[in-house]
Protein backbone atom coordinates (compact mmCIF):
# COMPACT_ATOMS: atom_id res chain seq x y z
CA UNK A 1 0.00 0.00 0.00
CA UNK A 2 1.38 3.41 -1.00
CA UNK A 3 1.87 5.79 1.93
CA UNK A 4 0.10 9.12 2.19
CA UNK A 5 2.80 11.75 1.69
CA UNK A 6 2.45 14.73 4.03
CA UNK A 7 4.68 17.74 3.41
CA UNK A 8 5.46 19.71 6.59
CA UNK A 9 7.13 23.13 6.47
CA UNK A 10 8.97 24.25 9.62
CA UNK A 11 9.35 28.05 9.80
CA UNK A 12 10.82 30.46 12.33
CA UNK A 13 13.72 32.76 13.09
CA UNK A 14 17.32 31.62 12.66
CA UNK A 15 18.67 29.92 15.77
CA UNK A 16 15.22 29.37 17.31
CA UNK A 17 15.88 25.62 17.55
CA UNK A 18 14.21 24.19 14.42
CA UNK A 19 17.22 22.20 13.23
CA UNK A 20 17.97 20.83 16.69
CA UNK A 21 14.32 19.80 17.08
CA UNK A 22 14.29 17.96 13.73
CA UNK A 23 17.67 16.37 14.47
CA UNK A 24 16.50 15.17 17.86
CA UNK A 25 13.28 13.59 16.59
CA UNK A 26 15.24 11.88 13.81
CA UNK A 27 17.43 10.24 16.48
CA UNK A 28 14.45 9.01 18.49
CA UNK A 29 12.14 10.95 20.77
CA UNK A 30 12.28 8.39 23.58
CA UNK A 31 16.05 7.92 23.46
CA UNK A 32 18.06 9.81 26.09
CA UNK A 33 20.88 12.02 24.85
CA UNK A 34 23.59 13.56 26.98
CA UNK A 35 23.57 17.35 26.61
CA UNK A 36 25.43 18.40 23.47
CA UNK A 37 25.32 14.95 21.86
CA UNK A 38 22.62 15.68 19.28
CA UNK A 39 24.05 15.21 15.81
CA UNK A 40 22.55 17.87 13.59
CA UNK A 41 20.99 16.84 10.30
CA UNK A 42 22.56 18.21 7.15
CA UNK A 43 20.51 20.66 5.10
CA UNK A 44 21.43 18.72 1.97
CA UNK A 45 19.44 15.73 3.26
CA UNK A 46 16.09 17.51 3.11
CA UNK A 47 13.32 16.72 3.25
CA UNK A 48 13.75 14.82 6.51
CA UNK A 49 11.53 11.77 6.19
CA UNK A 50 9.62 9.88 8.86
CA UNK A 51 7.60 6.77 8.04
CA UNK A 52 4.48 6.13 10.15
CA UNK A 53 2.25 3.11 10.22
CA UNK A 54 -1.31 3.53 11.45
CA UNK A 55 -4.03 0.89 11.69
CA UNK A 56 -5.45 1.50 8.24
CA UNK A 57 -2.81 3.56 6.40
CA UNK A 58 0.87 4.30 6.06
CA UNK A 59 2.20 7.84 6.09
CA UNK A 60 5.40 9.45 4.90
CA UNK A 61 6.06 12.75 6.69
CA UNK A 62 8.46 15.01 4.80
CA UNK A 63 9.80 17.83 7.00
CA UNK A 64 11.30 20.88 5.28
CA UNK A 65 13.46 23.18 7.43
CA UNK A 66 13.56 26.79 6.23
CA UNK A 67 17.33 26.98 6.48
CA UNK A 68 17.76 24.73 3.45
CA UNK A 69 15.21 25.22 0.68
CA UNK A 70 16.45 28.03 -1.53
CA UNK A 71 12.95 29.39 -1.72
CA UNK A 72 10.56 27.79 0.74
CA UNK A 73 7.74 29.80 -0.82
CA UNK A 74 7.76 27.36 -3.75
CA UNK A 75 6.83 24.45 -1.48
CA UNK A 76 3.20 23.44 -1.18
CA UNK A 77 2.99 22.08 2.37
CA UNK A 78 0.09 20.15 3.85
CA UNK A 79 0.97 21.45 7.32
CA UNK A 80 3.03 24.41 8.64
CA UNK A 81 4.78 24.56 12.00
CA UNK A 82 5.82 28.06 13.07
CA UNK A 83 8.52 27.89 15.73
CA UNK A 84 9.84 30.40 18.21
CA UNK A 85 12.51 30.42 20.93
CA UNK A 86 10.88 30.51 24.36
CA UNK A 87 13.91 32.32 25.80
CA UNK A 88 13.82 35.16 23.23
CA UNK A 89 10.89 37.58 23.27
CA UNK A 90 11.88 38.92 19.82
CA UNK A 91 11.38 35.42 18.43
CA UNK A 92 7.78 35.40 19.74
CA UNK A 93 7.16 38.84 18.26
CA UNK A 94 8.59 37.80 14.88
CA UNK A 95 6.33 34.75 14.89
CA UNK A 96 3.31 37.02 15.41
CA UNK A 97 4.35 39.81 13.05
CA UNK A 98 6.46 38.19 10.34
CA UNK A 99 6.01 34.44 10.05
CA UNK A 100 2.22 34.19 10.23
CA UNK A 101 1.97 36.99 7.67
CA UNK A 102 4.44 35.16 5.39
CA UNK A 103 2.41 31.95 5.65
CA UNK A 104 -0.95 33.61 5.04
CA UNK A 105 0.26 35.67 2.04
CA UNK A 106 2.35 32.89 0.48
CA UNK A 107 -0.09 30.00 0.67
CA UNK A 108 -3.41 31.86 0.48
CA UNK A 109 -5.34 29.03 2.07
CA UNK A 110 -7.77 29.12 4.94
CA UNK A 111 -7.56 25.34 5.15
CA UNK A 112 -3.82 24.97 5.77
CA UNK A 113 -3.28 23.67 9.33
CA UNK A 114 -0.83 25.86 11.26
CA UNK A 115 0.81 24.70 14.48
CA UNK A 116 2.85 26.88 16.83
CA UNK A 117 5.84 25.28 18.54
CA UNK A 118 7.79 26.92 21.37
CA UNK A 119 11.32 25.54 21.42
CA UNK A 120 14.14 25.64 23.98
CA UNK A 121 11.77 25.10 26.91
CA UNK A 122 14.81 24.24 29.02
CA UNK A 123 16.02 27.86 28.69
CA UNK A 124 12.91 29.41 30.27
CA UNK A 125 14.44 31.42 33.11
CA UNK A 126 12.67 32.84 36.14
CA UNK A 127 15.64 35.18 36.70
CA UNK A 128 14.85 37.25 33.60
CA UNK A 129 11.29 38.57 34.07
CA UNK A 130 11.36 40.43 30.74
CA UNK A 131 12.49 37.38 28.78
CA UNK A 132 10.17 34.81 30.29
CA UNK A 133 7.53 33.58 27.91
CA UNK A 134 5.13 31.40 29.86
CA UNK A 135 3.02 28.74 28.11
CA UNK A 136 -0.15 30.81 28.47
CA UNK A 137 1.45 33.75 26.63
CA UNK A 138 2.55 31.46 23.79
CA UNK A 139 -0.92 29.92 23.66
CA UNK A 140 -2.53 33.37 23.57
CA UNK A 141 -0.24 34.37 20.68
CA UNK A 142 -1.18 31.19 18.82
CA UNK A 143 -4.88 31.95 19.33
CA UNK A 144 -4.45 35.49 18.02
CA UNK A 145 -2.73 34.03 14.96
CA UNK A 146 -5.65 31.59 14.53
CA UNK A 147 -3.27 28.64 14.75
CA UNK A 148 -4.72 25.16 15.18
CA UNK A 149 -2.48 24.07 18.05
CA UNK A 150 0.13 25.35 20.50
CA UNK A 151 2.92 23.09 21.75
CA UNK A 152 6.30 23.50 23.40
CA UNK A 153 9.26 21.28 24.19
CA UNK A 154 13.01 21.08 24.65
CA UNK A 155 14.99 19.13 22.07
CA UNK A 156 18.08 19.19 24.29
CA UNK A 157 16.49 17.69 27.42
CA UNK A 158 13.69 15.82 25.64
CA UNK A 159 11.06 17.47 27.86
CA UNK A 160 7.63 17.08 26.18
CA UNK A 161 9.34 15.95 22.95
CA UNK A 162 7.42 12.64 22.62
CA UNK A 163 4.11 14.40 23.21
CA UNK A 164 4.90 17.14 20.67
CA UNK A 165 6.00 14.64 18.03
CA UNK A 166 2.86 12.58 18.62
CA UNK A 167 0.67 15.68 18.25
CA UNK A 168 2.45 16.64 15.02
CA UNK A 169 2.03 13.11 13.66
CA UNK A 170 -1.65 13.02 14.60
CA UNK A 171 -2.25 16.39 12.92
CA UNK A 172 -0.21 15.33 9.86
CA UNK A 173 -2.24 12.13 9.49
CA UNK A 174 -5.37 14.25 9.76
CA UNK A 175 -4.37 16.17 6.62
CA UNK A 176 -5.28 13.07 4.63
CA UNK A 177 -8.81 13.12 6.11
CA UNK A 178 -11.84 15.12 5.10
CA UNK A 179 -11.17 17.75 7.81
CA UNK A 180 -7.69 18.38 6.43
CA UNK A 181 -6.00 18.37 9.84
CA UNK A 182 -7.49 21.64 11.05
CA UNK A 183 -8.94 22.01 14.51
CA UNK A 184 -12.66 22.54 14.90
CA UNK A 185 -12.11 26.09 16.09
CA UNK A 186 -9.88 27.63 18.65
CA UNK A 187 -6.31 26.74 19.42
CA UNK A 188 -5.63 23.50 21.26
CA UNK A 189 -3.03 23.62 24.02
CA UNK A 190 -0.83 20.56 24.12
List, for residues 29-71, the tens digit of each pLDDT value: 666 555 556 767 666 677 888 898 888 889 999 999 876 555 7
Q: pLDDT band at 183, cuts 50/70/90?
A: low
What are the tens digits of pLDDT across the range 124-165? 877 776 667 899 999 999 999 999 999 999 999 999 999 999
pLDDT tens-digit series, residues 91-119? 999 999 999 999 999 998 888 999 999 99
Q: Where are the alpha helices (DSSP H) in 33-119?
A: 89-94, 100-107
Query: From the centroid of its chain, how far is CA 104?
Result: 16
Q: How many CA atoms lie within 13 A of 86 on its CB side?
A: 24
Rounded CA-CA distance 59/80 in Å is 17
| Cβ-Cβ contacts under 8 Å for 171 (sequence gap 6 or more) | 79, 113, 115, 148, 149, 181
So what's the pLDDT on residue 185?
A: 54
Residue 180: its pLDDT value, please?
Answer: 57
Q: Report residue 182's pLDDT band, with 50, 70 and 90 as the boundaries.
A: low
Distance between CA atoms of residues 81 and 164, nearest Å:
11
Q: Residue 188's pLDDT is what? A: 53
Contact 118, 138 (CB under 8 A): yes
In this structure, which topology does domain 4-189 adopt according to CATH? Rossmann fold (3.40.50)
Residue 43 has a pLDDT of 65
Q: Where are the domains of the chain?
A: 4-189
Amino acid sequence: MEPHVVSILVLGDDKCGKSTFLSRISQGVHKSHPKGSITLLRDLDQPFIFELRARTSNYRLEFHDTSSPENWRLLRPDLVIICYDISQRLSLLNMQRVWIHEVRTTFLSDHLPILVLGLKRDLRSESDPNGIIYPQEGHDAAQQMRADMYMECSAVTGELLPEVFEDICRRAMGTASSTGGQSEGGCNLM
